[in-house]
């Protein structure tokens, strides 16, 4: 390696200074000559842009060697020890911090991973670079929630190793101990992920393969399976395993991305050995598959299966544990917004019965010690429409937990050239509106300075340069909009379309207005809910 410094671990955290654009250094932390952490970091040479941290609690009172591959030894002198997180006093109330969308305490996040429910806790893992503002160093961050709104970070669950960094994957509860990994009374939680070989010096020459890790203490600690990888390299950059339990055939099913628009299904009795079932082509899509059943209009006698791709395209069909048979063409409901790599939770209790999804919400947050966000969780349903069976998506009902004040207006006539401004000024908002399509050329809402416009002749909803086809339902256009500090999420006609947009809103007005263009429009109802923060008040 290169320059190094040695210290005795006396505090919980090691604070590391980061300067965006500084030379990218390879850093290793060694205890007794063994590398316990290794990652790339833009180590600050001058004034840091922000600080990141390493939890060194496991090595209290032991000697820790910190080394980098090159650079000025003086940069290592800035490293600090502390029992608190860097910037802890400002944590969760930074200027661009999403207040009811999940974002990581520090560093970059992208795809949601490992979604599962166990003992009333929703587990959210995610692609995480704990040591920088940009993509890289793929670990699995980990957070839990009991209500899909308030999240508690548990720290990193998976770290890179000799097989590679930890790319996307899924999580299951092995309730029947099919893998034989259970130890104690807790059911085994298993994460299935891609070992992305060749992304680190330790994994040089390794291909992309699929691995598993497991927890016997409700997800608090994780061990990687000694027999990894459980599925070797198949093709290209094969990655993003989504695993489900198929009860009728009593086996695990893995949907795996291969290359191009090609995906494959595999089966296993024990999560360790996998056999191929079929290949599936999802035109126009790549990466991050999902596979799940839904009842059409809630009818348990009419269950279809959905095969999903990262960009929001999907196929509806049937699945018998062996073959997925598409019925109809590729569809989509997420039309070119900023969400990506959506995944649904497994093991949702039967009494709940919902199919709940979350996605990466792509938005750059300059000047922050963190970057990117997640969409607000949504409930998926399959409904019969004049065009066929389609997916619908609506924010989960738990959004109501954040309601603080509600304003409502009924039967307003909107006149061209005039704008109706309700008397409110809110930062965090949920807006619901129903418009009766009349003789106006266009109508819509402006929420926090962002115009959401419906063009009548084209039957198109527009926002921030994006256009979404949306036909009226019984002569109405219904909108639901969530506005946070770094995003606006738009749902049309009870979830027929979804358009999540990442955009910083900190400097925009907190108003809501309705408008009509070239004619009159009847605004049948408008509800504006002012929302509170999802973060604890003592951390704001």
Is residue 475 domain-shared with residue 421, that is, in the same domain?
Answer: yes
Q: What is the 8-class DSSP label of residue 272? A: S
**Domain's final residue, options 53, 88, 123:** 88
**Paired sense of beta strands 107-118 and 370-371, if any:** parallel
pLDDT of residue 539: 43
Q: What CATH number is associated with residue 467?
A: 2.60.120.560
Please indicate, yes or no, if residue 17 is contained in any of the structural domains.
Answer: yes
Please indicate, yes or no, if residue 538 is contained in any of the structural domains.
Answer: no
Structure tokens given for 63: 């000697």
- Tens digits of residue pLDDT in 503-522: 999 888 888 999 999 999 99
Is residue 283 domain-shared with residue 384, that is, in the same domain?
Answer: yes
Can you say how many angstroms the Cα of residue 502 is from the centroid of all Cα atoms in its chain?
Answer: 13
Choice among 49, 83, 111, 329 that is catalytic: 111
CB 428 within 8 A of CB 533: yes
- Give the N- to C-terminal CA distance of the chain in Å, as an integer: 41
Give the CB-side neighbour count of residue 308, counting CA atoms within 13 A. Answer: 28
Q: What is the 8-class DSSP label of residue 134? A: S
- With b for 16 or more beta-carbon neighbours within 10 A and e for fewer, the 519-540 pattern comes to eebbbeebebbbbebbbeeeee
- Tens digits of residue pLDDT in 283-327: 999 999 999 999 999 999 999 999 999 999 999 999 999 999 999
The whole-number average pLDDT for the span 453-474 is: 96
CA-CA distance, 492 to 173, in Å (whole number)?
A: 34
Is residue 464 domain-shared with residue 346, that is, in the same domain?
Answer: no
- Tens digits of residue pLDDT in 315-328: 999 999 999 999 99
Please indicate, yes or no, if residue 537 is contained in any of the structural domains.
Answer: no
Closest by alpha carbon to 332, among 355, 314, 356, 308? 314
Is residue 172 domain-shared with residue 285, that is, in the same domain?
Answer: yes
Percent of the chain with pLDDT over 90: 92
Length of the chain: 540
**Domain's final residue, options 54, 71, 88:** 88
Is residue 341 domain-shared with residue 439, that is, in the same domain?
Answer: no
Residue 111 bears catalytic tag? yes
In 175-226, the DSSP E strands lie at: 188-196, 208-215, 223-224
- With b for 16 or more beta-carbon neighbours within 10 A and e for fewer, the 57-79 pattern comes to eebeeeebbbbbeebeeebbeeb
Is residue 322 domain-shared with residue 192, that is, in the same domain?
Answer: yes
Is residue 377 domain-shared with residue 414, that is, in the same domain?
Answer: no
Please name the residues in contact with 388: beta carbons below 8 A apart, sequence gap of 6 or more.
Answer: 316, 328
Q: What CATH number is associated with residue 354?
A: 2.115.10.20
Please indicate, yes or no, if residue 539 is contained in any of the structural domains.
Answer: no
pTM, two decimals, is: 0.96
Instruction: Tally Cβ neighbours within 10 Å of residue 434.
Output: 16
Please indicate, yes or no, if residue 182 is contained in any of the structural domains.
Answer: yes
pLDDT of residue 421: 65
The whole-number average pLDDT for the span 263-291 is: 97
**Domain's final residue, options 46, 70, 88:** 88
Is the pLDDT at 103 greater than 50? The verdict is: yes
CA-CA distance, 170 to 124, in Å (whole number)?
A: 10
Tell how many helices (H) and how many strands (E) occur in the chain: 0, 42
Name the band, by pLDDT with cuts 50, 70 and 90, for residue 540: very low
Is residue 120 domain-shared with residue 64, that is, in the same domain?
Answer: no
Please indicate, yes or no, if residue 540 is contained in any of the structural domains.
Answer: no
Please indicate, yes or no, if residue 56 is contained in any of the structural domains.
Answer: yes
Range of the domain at 118: 92-395
CB 248 within 8 A of CB 321: yes
Is residue 344 domain-shared with residue 383, that is, in the same domain?
Answer: yes
Is residue 306 domain-shared with residue 365, that is, in the same domain?
Answer: yes
- Tens digits of residue pLDDT in 215-259: 999 999 999 999 999 999 999 999 999 999 999 999 999 999 999
Question: What domain count does the chain have?
Answer: 3
- Tens digits of residue pLDDT in 34-92: 999 999 999 998 899 999 999 999 999 999 999 999 988 888 999 999 999 999 999 99
CA-CA distance, 278 to 253, in Å (whole number)?
A: 11
Please indicate, yes or no, if residue 358 is contained in any of the structural domains.
Answer: yes
Is residue 107 domain-shared with residue 44, that is, in the same domain?
Answer: no
Structure tokens given for 339: 């969400």
Is residue 439 domain-shared with residue 335, that is, in the same domain?
Answer: no
For residue 528, what are the β-bridge partners?
Answer: 407, 431
Q: What is the DSSP string of 474-495?
A: TTEEEEEEEEETTEEEEEETTT
């Amino acid at each position: 390696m290169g320059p190094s410094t040695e210290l005795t671990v006396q505090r919980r955290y090691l604070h590391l200074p980061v300067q965006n654009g500084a030379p990218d250094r390879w850093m290793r932390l060694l205890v007794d000559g063994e590398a316990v952490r290794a990652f790339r970091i833009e180590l600050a040479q001058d004034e840091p842009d922000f600080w990141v941290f390493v939890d060194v609690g496991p090595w209290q009172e032991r000697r820790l060697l910190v080394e980098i591959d090159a650079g000025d030894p003086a940069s290592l002198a800035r490293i600090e020890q502390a029992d608190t997180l860097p910037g802890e006093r400002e944590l969760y109330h930074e200027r661009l911090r999403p207040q009811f969308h999940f974002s990581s305490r520090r560093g970059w996040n992208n795809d949601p991973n490992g979604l599962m429910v166990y003992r009333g806790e929703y587990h959210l893992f995610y692609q995480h670079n704990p040591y920088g503002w940009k993509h890289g160093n793929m670990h699995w961050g980990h957070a839990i929630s009991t209500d899909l709104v308030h999240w508690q970070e548990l720290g990193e669950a998976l770290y890179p190793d000799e097989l590679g960094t930890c790319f996307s994957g899924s999580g299951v509860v092995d309730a029947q101990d099919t893998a034989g990994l259970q130890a104690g009374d807790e059911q085994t939680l298993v994460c299935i992920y891609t070992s992305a070989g060749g992304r680190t010096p330790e994994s040089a020459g390794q291909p992309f393969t699929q691995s598993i890790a497991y927890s016997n203490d409700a997800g608090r600690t994780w061990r990687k399976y000694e027999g990894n990888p459980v599925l070797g390299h198949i093709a290209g950059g094969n990655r993003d395993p989504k695993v489900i339990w198929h009860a009728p055939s009593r086996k695990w099913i893995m949907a795996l991305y291969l290359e191009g628009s090609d995906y494959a299904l595999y089966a296993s009795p024990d999560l360790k050995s996998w056999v191929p079932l079929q290949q599936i082509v999802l035109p126009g899509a790549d990466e991050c598959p999902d596979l799940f059943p839904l009842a059409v209009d809630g009818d348990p006698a009419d269950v279809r299966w959905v095969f999903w791709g990262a960009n929001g395209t999907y196929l509806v069909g049937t699945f018998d544990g062996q073959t997925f048979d598409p019925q109809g063409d590729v569809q989509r409901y997420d039309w070119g917004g900023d969400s990506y790599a959506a995944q649904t939770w497994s093991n949702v209790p039967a009494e709940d019965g919902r199919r709940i999804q979350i996605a990466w919400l792509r938005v750059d947050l300059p000047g922050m010690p963190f970057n990117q966000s997640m969409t607000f969780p949504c409930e998926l349903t399959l409904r019969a429409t004049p065009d066929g069976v389609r997916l619908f998506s609506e924010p989960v009902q738990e959004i109501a937990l954040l309601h603080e004040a509600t304003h409502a207006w009924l039967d307003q006539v909107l006149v061209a050239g005039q704008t109706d401004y309700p008397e409110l000024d809110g930062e965090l908002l949920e807006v619901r509106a129903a418009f009766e399509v009349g003789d106006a050329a266009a109508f819509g809402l402006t929420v926090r300075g962002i115009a959401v416009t419906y063009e009548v002749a084209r039957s198109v909803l527009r926002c921030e340069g994006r256009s979404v086809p949306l036909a009226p339902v019984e002569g109405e256009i219904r909108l639901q909009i969530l506005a946070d500090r770094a995003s606006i999420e738009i749902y049309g006609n009870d979830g027929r379309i979804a358009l999540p947009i990442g955009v910083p809103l900190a400097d925009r007005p907190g108003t809501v207005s309705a408008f009509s263009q070239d004619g009159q429009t009847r605004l049948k109802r408008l509800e504006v809910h002012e929302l509170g923060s999802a973060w604890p008040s003592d951390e704001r």
